[in-house]
């Protein structure tokens, strides 16, 4: 199985992450931020990636450092678990509804990190969490995992539904992209023979 662990320690956060890309969506998540925990659980459950996250951060200041560094650490663990990315399907796409909301994610596990974020919120906070931090998480995750990641909320009104549908769509797209294609299980899915760098 494709497993990896990452530990990230700074003056602001201390984070331990373990992933199993060939799991069943089992998770144990503790970041100190309830809503972020909920979203990481969604990521695990709908990607079928087993995920363990233990994060401690400077929450007495705000949630920024913990949110961003958690995205980085999970992304790095996913990238490490993929190795040279041989055999992966590489591309993933999902459009996910949640009540009145519809969100779409398209990604390329290309080892060329890039984020397109077309998501707007009607309020600056969701519970105690600044809504602007969700873009920070996705940016950090895309960077760490080496994903070209396009996240769009097509429409919606409820901010909770908007965020959750974005995470679920990312999870389902990631699930497709990291799945091993048995027809080319030994080959890197690129005409260059390696993923990353220039086209």
The pLDDT tens digits for 37-96 are 999 999 999 999 999 999 999 999 999 999 999 999 999 999 999 999 999 999 999 999
Residue 195 in domain: no
Residue 197 in domain: no
Please, which residues have CB within 8 angstroms of residue 171's CB and are 6 or more apart in sequence? 42, 43, 44, 45, 46, 47, 49, 94
Work out the pLDDT band at 187, boundaries 50, 70, 90.
low
pLDDT at 141 over 80: yes
User: Within 10 Å of residue 128's Cβ, how many Cβ atoms?
Assistant: 11
**CATH number, domain containing residue 150:** 3.30.230.40
Work out the pLDDT band at 132, boundaries 50, 70, 90.
very high
pLDDT at 199 over 70: no
Residue 155 in domain: yes
Count: domains in the chain:
1
Please, which residues have CB within 8 angstroms of residue 117's CB and are 6 or more apart in sequence? 135, 138, 139, 151
Residue 164 in domain: yes
Residue 21 structural domain: 3-184
For the entire predicted model, the pTM comes to: 0.93
């Amino acid at each position: 199985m494709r497993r990896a662990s990452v530990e990230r320690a700074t003056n602001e956060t201390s984070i331990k992450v373990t992933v199993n890309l060939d799991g069943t969506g089992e998770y144990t998540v503790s970041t100190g931020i309830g809503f972020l925990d909920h979203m990481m659980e969604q990521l695990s459950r709908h990607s079928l990636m087993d995920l363990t996250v233990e994060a401690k951060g400077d929450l007495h200041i705000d949630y920024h450092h913990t949110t961003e560094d958690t995205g980085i650490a999970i992304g790095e663990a996913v990238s490490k678990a993929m190795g040279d990315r041989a055999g992966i399907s590489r591309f993933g796409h999902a459009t996910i509804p949640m009540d009145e909301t519809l969100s779409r994610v398209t990604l390329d596990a290309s080892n060329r990190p890039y984020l397109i974020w077309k998501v707007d919120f009607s309020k600056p906070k969701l519970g105690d969490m600044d809504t602007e931090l969700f873009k920070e998480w996705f940016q950090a995750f895309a960077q760490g995992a080496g994903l070209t990641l396009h996240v769009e909320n097509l429409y919606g009104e409820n901010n909770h539904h908007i965020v959750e549908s974005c995470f679920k769509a990312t999870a389902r797209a990631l699930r497709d992209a990291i799945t091993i294609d048995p027809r080319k299980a030994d080959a890197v899915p690129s005409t260059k023979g390696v993923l990353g760098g220039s086209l």
